[in-house]
Amino acid sequence: MTHRTDTAQLRANPARRPLAATAALAALTLLLAAAAACGDPPASPATAEPEASPEPTPEAQPEGAPEAEPEPEPEEPPACPEVEGPQPEARSEMMGVFDTSRQQLVFFGGDDGESVQCSASPHPIGGLWVYDNRCAAFTEHPVIDGPGDRARGVAVLDTARDRMLVFGGRFRVGRSGPYTLYNEVWALNLASMSWELLQTSGEAPSPRVNTVAAYNPDKDEMVVFGGNTSNNGANFIPQNDVWILDLATNAWRQLNTSNVKPSKRLFHASALDAENNLLYVYGGGDEQAFVGPFFGDLWQLNVTTGVWTELHPGGNGAPLHRIFSSLAFDKASGDVILFAGHDDAAVGNQNDTWRFDVQARQWIEIIPPEAVNTPANAFCDFPPDFTLPSLDAPDRRSAHLSALDDVRGELLVFGGKTDCGLIDDVWAFDLQRDSWLQLKPSTQGEACLRGDNPERCIALCGP
């Protein structure tokens, strides 16, 4: 066990004032104290006491009417633990959401298979974990009567019912053979952390992995787009169908779309503008997604009318085409945020951050992508300065978990695949300041030059 870090204590303060504001407040306090020592300052419109108001007369209650119930006091959040418990094993391809009301990142399953000589070795796992954003602390919850081990599914936050929905995914026993693919829908009650398998009706989407989904509160529906329906780990069968699950009736239906639509794909990313019923879809790959080329296009689907619109084809100053990235919608600015993923150029895993101005239909670079500095010595043999690390951002990665915290205006990122294996750090991207903050450092999987002793590095992933 480890004691909470200074970063955790900083995050435990929900106000989190900027340093400049804190300094200004301290200066004002000293100034008022000095003035008080010399006598009362003259009143000003900003500081004068308001005139006393007469006490309001209580409204007459009908005879025999019950007294009004006092409003309940808001619940205090639980205190942060003095000693932190275990941290989840590093993983990728997990399914999770951000529980805004409790300020928690909730995730299930994933894959903890480490790459061997740059070749994947999949191993789907289970496990239900919560990361408390106030305390920067993890907690594991038992999975009782819930879904079995799986990876590459998708999760959405059903705000109307205070639950996380998990759809799709894959599992197999051992390191070879066909996968079992899922199209069931599981619901996790976020108050009790108990699971329920939804009994759905109607024709359902075929079992699949690497799809995208979103919860549309305006329509009380879950929207699912695309994915891979092959159970053979050596090839892909991408899709571009759109499915709707009515959460009032648990009935599936396929959405008939119009206009030119995105090509069939998997490994894509999505985000929802809930106020306008718009689903954004970015990138991904097709049957050649093992090697590329990948997609770099950005699309918009009106989930009410079924009309597709291509917002940007990729290229011309846009992010490098990629798979396994993450997307978020910033409702304050109306922009779409893109982070990381695996490109089809010379670097592979990336850590660049972009905004897409929907009105101008233009990509804006926030954190630039890393470029090759010293080429590889041989296959899977990289020098320590293969790229010069951008320390203002998380390490380069793909297949990570990201989820939006609308209260703080942050995009939280956990785990994923790096050039050095699986990583287990937590970062937050501040949507207002366009900057990254590390919440929990990694215990593995980080490039050597990002560590405490970069001068000792003789290879990308270690001294």
The ranges assigned to domains in the chain are 83-456
Residue 309, burial from CB neighbour count under 10 angstroms (0-12, 13-18, 19+): middle
User: Under CATH, what is the fold of the domain 83-456?
Assistant: Neuraminidase (2.120.10)
User: Could you tell me if 114 and 121 are in contact, meaning their C-beta atoms sit under 8 angstroms apart?
Assistant: yes
Two structure tokens written together for 253: 């239906």
* 397 Cβ neighbours under 8 A, 6+ residues apart: 340, 349, 351, 416, 417, 418, 423
User: Could you tell me if 41 and 93 are in contact, meaning their C-beta atoms sit under 8 angstroms apart?
Assistant: no
Q: Which residue in the block uniquely carries the two structure tokens 């306090």?
A: 29
- pLDDT value at position 441? 96
Q: What whole-number distance in Å separates Cα of residue 85 and Cα of residue 108? A: 18
* 75 Cβ neighbours under 8 A, 6+ residues apart: none
- pLDDT value at position 116? 73
pLDDT in tens, the chain (463 residues): 333 344 444 444 433 333 334 333 333 343 334 334 334 333 333 333 333 333 444 444 444 444 555 655 656 677 888 777 899 999 999 999 999 999 999 999 999 998 877 888 999 999 999 999 999 999 999 999 999 999 999 999 999 999 999 999 999 998 889 999 999 999 999 999 999 999 999 999 999 999 999 999 999 999 999 999 999 999 999 999 999 999 999 999 999 999 999 999 999 999 999 999 999 999 999 999 999 999 999 999 999 999 999 999 999 999 999 999 999 999 999 999 999 999 999 999 999 999 999 999 999 999 999 999 999 999 889 999 999 999 999 999 999 999 999 889 999 999 999 999 999 999 999 999 999 999 999 999 999 999 999 999 999 998 8
Q: Determine which helix (DSSP H) or strand (DSSP E) holds 33, and give its type and residue range.
A: helix 19-37
Residue 51, burial from CB neighbour count under 10 angstroms (0-12, 13-18, 19+): exposed
Query: Alpha helix locations (H) across 284-356?
Result: none
CB atoms within 10 A of CB 118: 11
* 148 Cβ neighbours under 8 A, 6+ residues apart: 126, 171
- pLDDT value at position 45? 31
CB atoms within 10 A of CB 331: 15
User: Could you tell me if 433 and 381 are in contact, meaning their C-beta atoms sit under 8 angstroms apart?
Assistant: no
Q: What whole-number distance in Å separates Cα of residue 303 and Cα of residue 197? A: 25
Question: Would you mind telling me the total number of residues written for the chain in this entry?
Answer: 463
Q: What is the reported pTM? A: 0.85
Can you give 125-159 as a three-state secondary structure string? EEEEEEEECCCCEEEEECCCCCCCCCECCEEEEEC
Q: What whole-number distance in Å separates Cα of residue 296 and Cα of residue 345? A: 12
Reduced to 3 states, what is the DSSP secondary structure of residue 123? coil
- pLDDT value at position 28? 36
- pLDDT value at position 227? 98
Q: What are the C-alpha distances in Å from 254 to residues 19, 187, 205, 244?
A: 51, 21, 8, 6
Which of 9, 67, 5 is CA-nearest to residue 440? 5
- pLDDT value at position 73? 60
Q: What are the C-alpha distances in Å from 430 to residues 156, 353, 363, 404, 435?
A: 22, 12, 18, 10, 5
Sheet of 124-132, strands arranged across? 95-99, 104-111, 124-132, 137-141
Vertex 72, ends 67 and 74: CA angle to 5°?
A: 165
